[in-house]
Amino acid sequence: MDKFIIKGGRKLKGSVEISGSKNAALPILMATLLTDEDCVINRVPNLRDIRTTIKILEELGKKVSYDNGTLIVKAKRKLKTSVSYDLVKQMRASFWVAGPLLARFKKTQVPLPGGCAIGLRPVDIHLKGFEKLGAKISMDKGNIIIKTRKLNPAKIILSFPSVGATQNLMMCASLIPGKTIIENAAREPEVQDLINALNSMGASIIIDNRGRIVIEGKEKLGAMNHTIVADRIETGTYLLAAAATGSSITIKECVPSHNEILIEYLCEAGFKIETTETEIKISKKAKKIKPVNIKTAPFPGFATDLQAPWMTLMCLANGKSDVSEDIFENRFMHAAELIRMGANISLERNCAHIIGVKNFTPAIVMSSDLRGGAALVIAALCAKGTSEVQRVYHIDRGYERIEEKLTALGAKIKRVNPAPFE
């Protein structure tokens, strides 16, 4: 298993270019199942979750080529309607194939995604939506079987604005002739990017002035040509890495308005932020980092995926702050590792109480999940001395060429692939 050896205590400098969004790319790749025509998707980040999704598309019967960020998906043979457990267990978002496959074949079988490091993560909101669209749900040997003779358009009110359920249902409804309305839908930029991709295939989807997603379903969808939106979580992670290390850097090729609340909180914490249409420049304004409380919330609220890197920053603030995780249960595994690096954090249910310390101390730590891993990398960049971040495969799920990008910013970070007996 790869690990990072990081010599911390150095300031970052220069600029970093943001990749296409992983979370936007995953459902957009799955949307290619809605057509037999060719789909061309640009700015696809080269990440483990993307490679898993390519395997899923190939297993289902697509031919996929991926070169220099451009992914081309073509029809190869008649699509299968079920996915193997081996792939679903690697990535919970595999369940998002259910919507397109149900729409095209009126049946699909997908293994129930198992538990996951950041909580139970059920799919009940997806399933209730499929039922509204006329599907019957049953379980067989750990598989969810979703089928029907006929799907119908419907008004679906989500009990929570789940990102995945909104995307899965949108993909399904785009191939059901008639008007489907999703109320209390997620409004994350990744949802808008999927809308853009589906519309490029001939779908007709809008977000109306009441925030509802209105889908005029079509008999057939055609070729897709789409460029993935910038990754706002990667953007936020580099902003927080710069903030925690007290550095001035420029983030390029991003969409600053997708990180508005983070930018506001960083300003409150004492950083100077300047933005253009596609760039964010961060530098230190105050001498000490001011503590700021945050609560995670659906977009445009504070992203749960930035909660862990934000916690790293607050560990260095001048005083007490709270981080409240209101989206996922059990998303504080990084706290124990940050404590091993000298942080002062106490956990109380979904709230982390943090008392700032002067700096982290170098240590050997272990990533427990993708964003938690990024939080540890930032802490290691701050700690004066050599730290080791293990289980880098979590980080590789979501950060394209992270060590290369950090090295270009002046960090001392090296990937080590230990011998198998280590």
Contact by Cβ (8 Å): 169, 133: yes
Residue of the chain from 36, 193, 234, 305 that contacts ligand UD1 (CB under 6 A) = 305
Q: How many CB atoms lie within 10 A of CB 82?
A: 15
Residue of the chain from 28, 64, 327, 363 that contacts ligand UD1 (CB under 6 A) = 327
**Angle, CA of 92, 390 and 319, to the nearest 5°:** 90
Strands 155-157 vs 204-207: parallel, antiparallel or unpaired: unpaired
For ligand UD1, give the closer residue by CB, 263 or 327. 327
As measured in angstroms, the least distance from the Cβ of 179 to ligand UD1 is 23
- Rounded to whole angstroms, the Cα distance separating 122 from 116 reads 10
For ligand UD1, give the closer residue by CB, 14 or 119. 119
Q: Return the bridge partners of 215, or none.
A: 180, 205
Q: What share of the chain is helix, strand, coil (3-state, %, to 5)?
A: 35, 30, 40
Strands 294-295 vs 320-324: parallel, antiparallel or unpaired: parallel
What is the torsion angle, in degrees rounded to the nearest 10, for the CA atoms of residue 34, residue 35, residue 36 and residue 38?
Answer: -120
Stretch that binds ligand UD1, among 117-125, 202-210, 219-227, 261-269 (CB under 6 A): 117-125
Residues 118-157 that bind ligand UD1 (CB under 6 A): 119, 121-126
As measured in angstroms, the least distance from the Cβ of 218 to ligand UD1 is 25
For ligand UD1, give the closer residue by CB, 26 or 343. 26
As measured in angstroms, the least distance from the Cβ of 327 to ligand UD1 is 5
Catalytic member of 39, 116, 315, 351: 116
Instruction: Provide DSSP, 9-43.
Output: ----EEEEEPPBPHHHHHHHHHHGGG-SS-EEEES
Residue of the chain from 52, 81, 162, 200 that contacts ligand UD1 (CB under 6 A) = 162
193 contacts ligand UD1 (rule: CB under 6 A): no
Sequence-separated (6 or more) residues with CB below 8 Å from residue 127: 137, 144, 146
Locus of tokens 């379980």: 139
The closest residue (CB) to ligand UD1 is: 164
**Angle, CA of 194, 110 and 180, to the nearest 5°:** 40
- Based on the residue annotation, tell me whether 116 is a catalytic residue of this protein: yes
As measured in angstroms, the least distance from the Cβ of 22 to ligand UD1 is 7
Residue of the chain from 25, 144, 163, 197 that contacts ligand UD1 (CB under 6 A) = 163
Residue of the chain from 28, 29, 57, 165 that contacts ligand UD1 (CB under 6 A) = 165
Residues 87-106 that bind ligand UD1 (CB under 6 A): 93
Q: Tell me which residues are annotated as active site.
A: 116
Which residues of this chain interact with ligand UD1, rule CB under 6 A?
23, 26, 93, 119, 121-126, 160, 162-165, 190, 304-305, 327-328
